[in-house]
Amino acid sequence: MKCEGINVINKGTIREYACGNTSVARLLNLSEGEAILSIDVVAPWNLPIDQSLRVGDVQLIYHRDVINGLEWEFVGYDDGSRRELISVRISLVGVVEDSFVKELIINVLGAYVKDP
């Protein structure tokens, strides 16, 4: 997915990031100096599965990795006929600038979401 410009919407302890009119990510402050960046994606799942959780007829699937010193969690679902990546969560510590968050979002969207 190509996203040339990302807008920031401040909602108190949550900062929402939008590509045009489409919300693509949220930065949730957990405590002083700790935050989770959750980026929405829809892409084929091609990662190892570290953990799974059955919810009704589907399984939520997870893969965790450390990339460039940051903890990443990939979240997907498996409905028996297909597996898809639906979210990438990145743990952030310290002061996080919007420019860095936007760069992460653009990199994740470019790497995992393909334009039709």
Phi, psi for residue 81 in degrees, rounded to 5: -110, -20
Residues 53, 71: Cα–Cα separation, whole Å: 20
The mean predicted confidence, pLDDT, of the chain is 91
Q: Are strands 83-93 and 70-78 parallel, antiparallel or unpaired?
A: antiparallel
- H helical segments located in 31-115: 98-112
Length of the chain: 116
Residues 110, 97: Cα–Cα separation, whole Å: 20
Whether the model pTM is above 0.85: yes
- For position 1, what pLDDT does the model report? 61
For the stretch 24-42, pLDDT in tens is 999 998 888 899 999 999 9
